[in-house]
Amino acid sequence: MHTRRGALGGAVVTVAAGLAVRAWTDGAFAKYAGDALYTVLVCHVVALTAPRLRAGVVAGIGLAFSWAVEFSQIAGIPAILQPLLGATFNPPDLLWYAVGAGLYAAARSRPVRR
């Protein structure tokens, strides 16, 4: 379970991390780190709107959304939305979205107490 304040804070930190990656790195690292952070941000937005969902469910929704956006690029996205959603399908992005969802779930999951 997530609090709205925690989800909002996580979203802000994720955007800051994305901006830092773009400012201080380049190439493949920047691109794929950006993909993973995009999914982490989507997860925080999901948690912000539905804070009672478990981290794994939130991560699954975030991953499904990211994959849906990526696959929609095959059919083409209107030009006005391309800066936000991308323009070309890139299969490796699917892996990095999964990495982002996994990192979100790992960071938000609590260890089981016995």
Residue 113: inside a domain, yes or no?
Answer: no
Whose CA is closest to 108, among 59, 63, 62?
59
The reply to whether 22 falls in a domain is yes
pTM, 2 dp = 0.89
Q: What is the mean pLDDT of residues 54-68?
A: 97
Q: What are the E-state strand segments in the chain?
A: none
**More confident: 87 or 104:** 104
Q: Cα separation of 45 and 62, whole Å?
A: 9
pLDDT tens-digit profile of 1-51?
A: 568 899 999 999 999 999 999 999 999 999 999 999 999 999 999 999 999
* Total structural domains within the chain: 1
Tell me if 86 is assigned to some domain.
yes
Assess if residue 10 is contained within a domain.
Answer: yes
CA nearest to 91, candidates 43, 35, 17: 35
Contact 58, 104 (CB under 8 A): yes
In a domain, 36, yes or no: yes
Question: The domain containing residue 33 runs over which residues?
Answer: 4-108
- 79: DSSP letter: G
Please indicate, yes or no, if residue 30 is contained in any of the structural domains. yes
CB atoms within 10 A of CB 15: 14
Q: Is residue 114 part of a domain?
A: no
